[in-house]
A and B are shown apart, each in its own frame.
Chain A
Amino acid sequence: MKSKKLFILLALMLSFSLFLAACGTSDDENEQDNEDTNEQDSGDTNGQDDENADASDTDFTVAMVTDVGGVDDKSFNQSAWEGLVAFGEEHGLTEGEGYTYAQSDQDSDYEPNLQRLTMNDYDLVFGIGFLLTEAIQNVAERNPDTMYGLVDEVAEGDNIVSLTFKEHEGSFLVGVAAALKSESGKVGFVGGVDSPLINKFEVGFVAGVKSVDPSIDVDVRYAESFDDASRGRQIASSMYDSGIDVIYHAAGGAGNGVFNEAKDRKNSNPDNYVWVIGVDRDQYDEGAVTVDGEEHNVTLTSMVKRVDIAVQDISNRALAGDFPAGETMEYGLSDNGILVADTNADAYTDDIRAAVEEWEQKILDGDIDVPFTHDQLETFLEGLE
């Protein structure tokens, strides 16, 4: 008797959920309709570009796996995704079929995510961030017929291309900008986790600052985290308190705390002289703050790593059958893989722009070898004296 009542209850619930599910399906259809129209729209746009891509012009598929930062990290994961989206639109692919991403919530998700995309027959799979190095090597070894791309680190494997950036060169140039912008003679660097990759940013930045004026102090600190914004804010706060007026961050999500601190200071007194230099993407939007109806922006410039361009470039090469398997692609100033943002025209003055361009030319000409390890930095600084 007891179980009968329960049975009825369960049956009721089951039928209710089926009912709901049915509703869900119809919703889904609607959505698909929407998607279709969207696609047609985008097709039209493409048509205007005279690119003859009404439908997908290829069955080539590409996907990426984020690191724990997630796809909307306002940093290189997001940048890489923008590259894939651009590639998809260029060739009329559908999201979820032609190109897609998988988000990782923890370190143990990397391998399953890579493996899953491989099993779903994606031709090219990117791993975004050095954290995926080991995972992508393992998966690539097991699946020799799939192409892989790793961003930010060199991986070994015949079917892997490694995409690295000369972050030290870009960091050198924003160092120049920081040195020229600083009035107090003190600038700061906030790193994510103390590691060879982030050391490249740090070393390049210090070298750039000292090249302009060896007497400027550079305070280097690490948040020991890429996602702890409060830690980043704490460090920024103590830096600004100590008289530092320009901070360059290479700390992912933790760097958002640096922006928040600077904006807060600007907000409480618009005359406060505080600047942030962004990283990976042009972080101009992160620095916007409105005080008493007047718009300010604390982002002096950003060291932009065009992960999107790199990802799009490799995808196109793979599509064209020109996949640089086993190679390490190093993007730098020369191929616009690295650039210094000049969006904030008010702050990034012509003087600064001129100086940065001058130093850039020196690097391109090979007059300067920008250091990227602590040892090289030491030698470099000795050479300055």
Chain B
Amino acid sequence: MGNKLGSLFKSTKLWISLFSIILGLFAGAIIMLLFGYNPIEGYIALWNGVFENRYFGGETIALITPYIFSGLAVGFAYRSGLLNIGVEGQLFVGWLASVWVGTSFELPAIIHLPLAIIVAAIAGGLWGIIPGYLKARFHVHEVIVTIMMNYIALYVTNSLIRNVLSERAERTDHIANSASLKLDWLTEFMSFSNIHMGILLAVFAALFYWYTMERTTLGFEMRSVGINRDASQYAGMSVKRNIILSMTISGALAGLGGAMQGIGMYGYMTIHSGFTNIGFDGIAIALLGGSTAIGIVLAAGLFGFLKVGALNMQAGAGVPPELVEIVTALIILFVAAGYMIVLFREKLLKLFKRTKIDDQNENKNVKKEGN
């Protein structure tokens, strides 16, 4: 019974997502039409922009990789009732940390690469501990702390790049090959795109996320604290410990997302004049994916697909970049508004059910039940 219900529920969810995407594409098509562009050409360009050849497929995967990490980071905190807006900053420190290890040491790859990854996770985790501790100990709202920590991270990393990791240049040196996540044969196979091994790490992180959340006592506590802090405390869980731990793990995941850029995609770090938005997009990705591992991976995939494909809508179908942004935003909006569609469906079913009841009642005698 339970399983049957479960599968029914799941299929409904899938149905809703697909329907949402179709609605989003449809809304985007109307916008394109209003501005005098051919939506079919536009969408073909969008699709081809990713699947036309291996190069863009590789670029898409390279873009999805940090998105998965930032989505998981937001989701992890969210499941334990915390809003980590600081993924952006944690990503910056992770990025810098990985590049620092990548440029400053000469080690065999078997040590160098894991070291860069671990140091990035630690750096991000430390950046996450601060808001976690302030929240647990002094009840300072994590949203305000994490937002401010983003700015600190942005300018501290810029300053370190300028003054410590380079001599007043706007970017660091290139990391040593032994610390790179790129594989020659893979790069070559994907037409020299920026694809790197990080996607495997991202999938592994998603598995870790799922297992930790759903299958461990730690995840049990996180979820419990996330839903009902009071009851969790009554049941003997330490709410403070969970808050700090959750922010730390969330920060570590974000730091790993930074490492994907540092030792994967770019191999160096430049001075940033603003945020990358990977962390902020992570909020949308986590919520879109319902903070579940599989949902986050799929949502990150959608984001990456739209971002890379959209570039080709300009080049391939002549749609101006502003309009492309509106169209992709609409698609995401409709997916996010899945609940609207559930409502819509209820109405539809109701309409349909009523006629059925009337039919049946005609064949029935009204009986009064006695005692």
Which residues of chain A have a CB within 8 Å of any CB of chain B? 1-2, 5-6, 9-10, 13, 17, 20-21, 23-25, 27-28, 31, 70, 96, 100, 102-103, 105-109, 111-113, 115-117, 119-120, 130-131, 134, 138, 142, 192-197, 199, 224-228, 374
From B22, B193, B274, give the contact of A10 (CB < 8 A). B22
Nearest residue (CB) in A for B60 is: A112
Q: Are B155 and A224 in contact (CB under 8 A)?
A: yes
Q: Are A196 and B170 in contact (CB under 8 A)?
A: yes
From A10, A25, A130, give the contact of B38 (CB < 8 A). A25
Nearest residue (CB) in B for A96 is: B318
The answer to whether the Cβ of B114 comes within 8 Å of any Cβ in the partner chain is no
The answer to whether the Cβ of B268 comes within 8 Å of any Cβ in the partner chain is yes
Nearest residue (CB) in B for A226 is: B273
Nearest residue (CB) in A for B261 is: A108
The interface residues of chain B lying within 8 Å CB-to-CB of A199 are 168
Q: Are B266 and A103 in contact (CB under 8 A)?
A: no
Residues of B336-371 at the interface with A, using a CB-CB cut-off of 8 Å, are 348-349, 352
Q: Are A24 and B36 in contact (CB under 8 A)?
A: yes
> What distance in Å separates the Cβ of B30 from its nearest Cβ neighbour in chain A?
7
Q: Are B273 and A106 in contact (CB under 8 A)?
A: no
Nearest residue (CB) in B for A131 is: B270
Nearest residue (CB) in B for A139 is: B192
Q: Are A21 and B39 in contact (CB under 8 A)?
A: yes
* A105 to B56 Cα, complex, angstroms: 16
The interface residues of chain A lying within 8 Å CB-to-CB of B162 are 194-195
Residues 27-45 of chain B: 1 if any A CB is under 8 Å from the residue's CB, otherwise 0?
A: 0011011001111100000
Residues 269-304 of chain B: 1 if any A CB is under 8 Å from the residue's CB, otherwise 0?
A: 011011011000000000000000000000000000
With A2-B352, A13-B26 as contacts: A227 and B273 at CB distance below 8 Å: yes
Residues 303-319 of chain B: 1 if any A CB is under 8 Å from the residue's CB, otherwise 0?
A: 00001100110110010
The answer to whether the Cβ of B142 comes within 8 Å of any Cβ in the partner chain is no
Residue in A70, A115, A192 with the greatest tally of chain B CB atoms within 10 Å: A115
Q: Are B37 and A24 in contact (CB under 8 A)?
A: yes
Would you give 20 A-B contacts (Cβ < 8 Å), ordered by A? A2-B349, A5-B348, A10-B22, A20-B29, A20-B33, A20-B39, A23-B33, A24-B33, A27-B38, A70-B321, A108-B265, A109-B311, A112-B55, A112-B311, A113-B315, A117-B315, A130-B170, A138-B192, A194-B271, A228-B274
> What distance in Å separates the Cβ of B307 from its nearest Cβ neighbour in chain A?
8
With A28-B38, A96-B318, A105-B321 as contacts: A115 and B33 at CB distance below 8 Å: no
Q: A13-B22, A115-B55, A142-B192 are in contact. List 19 more A-B contacts (CB 8 A).
A: A5-B352, A20-B33, A21-B29, A28-B36, A102-B311, A107-B276, A111-B59, A112-B55, A112-B308, A112-B311, A115-B59, A131-B270, A134-B266, A193-B271, A193-B273, A195-B170, A196-B168, A197-B170, A224-B158
Residues of B133-168 at the interface with A, using a CB-CB cut-off of 8 Å, are 155, 158, 162, 168
> What distance in Å separates the Cβ of A155 from its nearest Cβ neighbour in chain B?
13
The interface residues of chain B lying within 8 Å CB-to-CB of A20 are 29-30, 33, 39
Residue in A28, A111, A226 with the greatest tally of chain B CB atoms within 10 Å: A111
The interface residues of chain A lying within 8 Å CB-to-CB of B216 are none
The interface residues of chain B lying within 8 Å CB-to-CB of A5 are 348, 352
Q: Are A1 and B271 in contact (CB under 8 A)?
A: no
With A103-B314, A193-B273 as contacts: A111 and B169 at CB distance below 8 Å: no
Nearest residue (CB) in B for A101 is: B314
Q: Are B38 and A102 in contact (CB under 8 A)?
A: no
With A116-B315, A227-B273 as contacts: A27 and B36 at CB distance below 8 Å: yes
Nearest residue (CB) in A for B55 is: A115
* A234 to B233 Cα, complex, angstroms: 47
Q: Are B352 and A1 in contact (CB under 8 A)?
A: yes
The answer to whether the Cβ of B63 comes within 8 Å of any Cβ in the partner chain is yes
> What distance in Å separates the Cβ of A26 from its nearest Cβ neighbour in chain B?
10
The interface residues of chain A lying within 8 Å CB-to-CB of B36 are 24, 27-28, 31
Nearest residue (CB) in A for B155 is: A224
* A374 to B168 Cα, complex, angstroms: 10
> What distance in Å separates the Cβ of A8 from its nearest Cβ neighbour in chain B?
11
Which residues of chain B have a CB within 8 Å of any CB of chain A? 22, 26, 29-30, 32-33, 36-40, 49, 53, 55-56, 59, 62-63, 155, 158, 162, 168-171, 192-194, 265-266, 268, 270-271, 273-274, 276-277, 307-308, 311-312, 314-315, 318, 321, 325, 348-349, 352
Q: Are A225 and B273 in contact (CB under 8 A)?
A: yes
Q: Are A28 and B37 in contact (CB under 8 A)?
A: yes
* A10 to B162 Cα, complex, angstroms: 56
* A108 to B59 Cα, complex, angstroms: 9
Q: Are A225 and B274 in contact (CB under 8 A)?
A: yes
The interface residues of chain B lying within 8 Å CB-to-CB of A112 are 55-56, 59, 308, 311
Residue in A24, A31, A115 with the greatest tally of chain B CB atoms within 10 Å: A24
> What distance in Å separates the Cβ of A68 from its nearest Cβ neighbour in chain B?
8
* A366 to B158 Cα, complex, angstroms: 37
With A21-B38, A106-B276, A108-B62 as contacts: A134 and B321 at CB distance below 8 Å: no
* A70 to B320 Cα, complex, angstroms: 11
Q: Are B315 and A24 in contact (CB under 8 A)?
A: no
The interface residues of chain A lying within 8 Å CB-to-CB of B349 are 2
The interface residues of chain A lying within 8 Å CB-to-CB of B266 are 107, 134
Nearest residue (CB) in A for B188 is: A142
> What distance in Å separates the Cβ of B341 from its nearest Cβ neighbour in chain A?
11
* A194 to B272 Cα, complex, angstroms: 10
* A225 to B155 Cα, complex, angstroms: 11
Q: Are A17 and B29 in contact (CB under 8 A)?
A: yes
Q: Are A102 and B314 in contact (CB under 8 A)?
A: yes
* A226 to B270 Cα, complex, angstroms: 14
A-B interface, 4 closest residue pairs, ranked by CB to CB distance from nearest:
A195-B170, A225-B273, A103-B321, A24-B38
Nearest residue (CB) in A for B192 is: A142
The interface residues of chain B lying within 8 Å CB-to-CB of A107 are 266, 270, 276
The interface residues of chain A lying within 8 Å CB-to-CB of B348 are 5-6, 9
* A116 to B62 Cα, complex, angstroms: 16
* A309 to B7 Cα, complex, angstroms: 65
The interface residues of chain A lying within 8 Å CB-to-CB of B33 are 20-21, 23-24, 27
* A275 to B162 Cα, complex, angstroms: 31
> What distance in Å separates the Cβ of B35 from its nearest Cβ neighbour in chain A?
9
* A56 to B303 Cα, complex, angstroms: 40
With A107-B270, A109-B311 as contacts: A116 and B56 at CB distance below 8 Å: yes
The interface residues of chain A lying within 8 Å CB-to-CB of B171 are 134
* A111 to B192 Cα, complex, angstroms: 10
* A96 to B37 Cα, complex, angstroms: 14
Nearest residue (CB) in A for B158 is: A224
